[in-house]
Amino acid sequence: MKSCTKLFFSVGITLGLLTMGPSLAVGMPVLDFHLPLPKVETLPNGLKIAWFIDERLPLVDLGMLVRTGTKNDPAGKSGTVELLSRMLERGANGLTEQAFSAKIESLGATGFSNSDEESITLGMHGLAQDANELLDVISWMALKPNFNEAEFQKEKVKVAEAWKHLPDSAESLAGYVFGKALLGGTVYGRGTLASTSELNKLKIADIREFHRTQFSPKNAILMVVGRVDPVTFRDRIIAAFGSWKGAVTRTGTFSFRDPKTSILLSKKMEIEKREVLVVDRPEVPQAQVRLGFRIPGIRSEKRYALAVANALLGEYFTSRLNLIVRDRLGLTYGIQSGLTYYKDYAFFSIASATAAQNTGQLISETVRQLRLLKAGDVLAQEIEVSKDYLLGGYPISVSTLGSVANRWLNGYSFGLSSDYLNEYMPKVSAVTRESVVNAIDDAFHLDEMVIVIAGNAKVIEASLKEKGFKRVRIIQANSLL
């Protein structure tokens, strides 16, 4: 445990002979790339600790991930995890919320508690010299939250009020309705909150009970990233967490499309085949556009071929969509495609924004490009460029130990093997044109594509109909909540 990872990955570089364009005969680096994996140990009570030691900067990040997220909200009690996460910041170890915040901020540090579909994460970031105190604070948050009734009522009000601001932004509206339309009927469909009526019914006893059953050392991992002495710090961790007990109790069955836990959405946000859903947000000149469909999950062998396909379609400035929709047609400031992975679900999506009167043209051109890909219109040269982009960008995306730790933690929470970070480059390198064409053919279910637009519905609808989109349904932004 004493070794320090100063140079936390090594890159051996050989130069190939690829010519890179006029007058620039520079080789593309071929990278022999290896990221450091953390030392992981398990305390007798089952708590895992992952060590990413880095002496370079006088900083420390402590993070605790608990493997229970909004998809684990008990039936009829959506909002439980969101409120629990918020309550962990509202006082602990007998300190009031004010005293608790002051304790963290007196160190110049920042603390947080977040939740998503899969997990709750607590974190502390500050100077390395304060690592012991930060560890104390994170242990109080995890083990000794106050769960004060008055604070709970305040947080419920804040959550309800935050939702009222959703229609303020066309961008937020488009993202929200797109997520509901695409993920509806799955355990991910309800997001952080299914309805305000469920929120209103929640009691502090629900939060306490969820914490009691889900916060267990066997269900958690502590990340230590930065400048600490692992020997002495390990003793501090044992003092803070060693007596933590409890076995996790699952709150239900969480398989994909389980009718007991999945949410049947409001009819408003269900979408039928070949139907375009427009959320009316009048008075804004620009339409926010989202489209996408489900793809194979994170464990699929097609994942790397799809990563290459996604990159060539819409990830960089010379990708197809950018070249055509932005550079040639000047329709948008940006158009991006992306792959989103949950533990048990994945989807492909495209996001853009354009003047409302150009919406039909932008979507029409985007769908045309998807159809071309589906028909196998992919050049070997495009595949190589896309692979080079992904391979060259990977070292930059993991150029801090914090970014390596985050990626590792994502893999851990998804149950991937600890080597998955180092499999990325060889697996991308091995992608061929044939594997990309096959993956697109298998994964791009264009008939099931969900298209959602937020903006001035009247102008958008006219623009869509002009381009042949016949089934357009308009919903009002203020009717969603």
Partner 1 sequence: MRVALVVFFAGVTLAGCASSPKTPVGSVASSPESFESPEFAKLGLRFPLLERRLPNGLKVLIVQDSTVPVVSYQTWVNVGSVDESFGLSGIAHLFEHLMFKDSEKYGPRAFFNQLESRGAVVNAFTTRDYTVFYETMVPPLLPVAISLEADRLANLKIDAETLYTERHVVFEERKLRTENSPDGRMQEAVWSLVFKSHPYRAPVIGYEEDLKRMEVTDLTTFFKANYQPGNVTVVVVGDVKADSVFSMIEKAYGGIPGTPRKPRNIPREAVQSEARRVELQDQIATEKITIAYPSTSAAESDTYALDVLSNILFVGSSSRTHRQLVEENRIASGIGGVNYTPLFPGVFLASATLRAGHSASEFENGFESMIKEIQSNGVTEREIRNAVRQLTVQTVDSVRTGQGLANLIGTVDAIFGDPMRFKEDLTKYSRVTNADIIRVAKNYLTPEKKNVVTMVPTTGRATQ
Which residues in 231-290 contact partner 1 (CB under 8 A)? 281-286, 288
- Nearer to partner 1 (CB atom), residue 118 or residue 155: 155
**Contact with partner 1 (CB under 8 A): which of 37, 95, 97, 213?**
97
- Nearer to partner 1 (CB atom), residue 376 or residue 393: 393
**In the stretch 34-73, what mask flags binding to partner 1 with x, by CB under 8 A?**
----------------------xxxx--------------
Q: Does 26 bind partner 1 (CB under 8 A)?
A: yes
Size of the site for partner 1 (CB under 8 A): 84
- Nearer to partner 1 (CB atom), residue 139 or residue 456: 456
**Contact with partner 1 (CB under 8 A): which of 134, 276, 402, 424?**
402
Dist CA 206 CA 396 (whole Å): 43
Q: Does 148 bind partner 1 (CB under 8 A)?
A: no
The distance of closest approach from Cβ of residue 305 to partner 1 in the complex, given in angstroms and rounded to an integer, is 18
The distance of closest approach from Cβ of residue 432 to partner 1 in the complex, given in angstroms and rounded to an integer, is 18
The distance of closest approach from Cβ of residue 213 to partner 1 in the complex, given in angstroms and rounded to an integer, is 28
**Contact with partner 1 (CB under 8 A): which of 215, 304, 347, 389?**
389
**Contact with partner 1 (CB under 8 A): which of 37, 395, 414, 422?**
395
Scanning 14-22, 243-251, 293-301, 364-372 for contacts with partner 1 by CB under 8 A, the matching segment is 14-22
Collapsed DSSP state (helix, strand, coil) of residue 52: strand
Q: Does 4 bind partner 1 (CB under 8 A)?
A: no
3-state DSSP of the chain: CCCCCCCCCEEEEEECCCCCCCCCCCCCEEEEEECCCCEEEECCCCCEEEEEECCCCCEEEEEEEECCCHHHCCCCCCCHHHHHHHHCCCCECCECHHHHHHHHHCCCCEEEEEECCCCEEEEEEEEHHHHHHHHHHHHHHHHCECCCHHHHHHHHHHHHHHHHCHHHCHHHHHHHHHHHHHHCCCCCCCCCCCCHHHHHHCCHHHHHHHHHHHCCHHHEEEEEEECCCHHHHHHHHHHHHCCCCCCCCCCCCCCCCCCCCCCCCCHHHCCCCCCEEEEECCCCCEEEEEEEEECCCCCCCCHHHHHHHHHHHHCCCCCHHHHHHHHHCCCCCCEEEEEEECCCCEEEEEEEEEEHHHHHHHHHHHHHHHHHHHCCCCCHHHHHHHHHHHHHHHHHHCCCHHHHHHHHHHHHHCCCCCCHHHHHHHHHHCCCHHHHHHHHHHHCCHHHCEEEEEECHHHHHHHHHHCCCCCEEEEEHHHCC
The distance of closest approach from Cβ of residue 423 to partner 1 in the complex, given in angstroms and rounded to an integer, is 18
**In the stretch 290-329, what mask flags binding to partner 1 with x, by CB under 8 A?**
--------------------------xxx-------xxxx
Q: Does 406 bind partner 1 (CB under 8 A)?
A: no
Q: Does 392 bind partner 1 (CB under 8 A)?
A: yes
Scanning 159-167, 186-194, 266-274, 440-448 for contacts with partner 1 by CB under 8 A, the matching segment is 159-167
- Nearer to partner 1 (CB atom), residue 251 or residue 463: 463
- Nearer to partner 1 (CB atom), residue 61 or residue 206: 61
Q: Does 426 bind partner 1 (CB under 8 A)?
A: no
Scanning 70-78, 121-129, 178-186, 190-198 for contacts with partner 1 by CB under 8 A, the matching segment is 121-129
The distance of closest approach from Cβ of residue 100 to partner 1 in the complex, given in angstroms and rounded to an integer, is 9
Q: Does 27 bind partner 1 (CB under 8 A)?
A: yes
Contact in structure between 248 and 221 (CB atoms under 8 Å):
no
Q: Does 126 bind partner 1 (CB under 8 A)?
A: yes
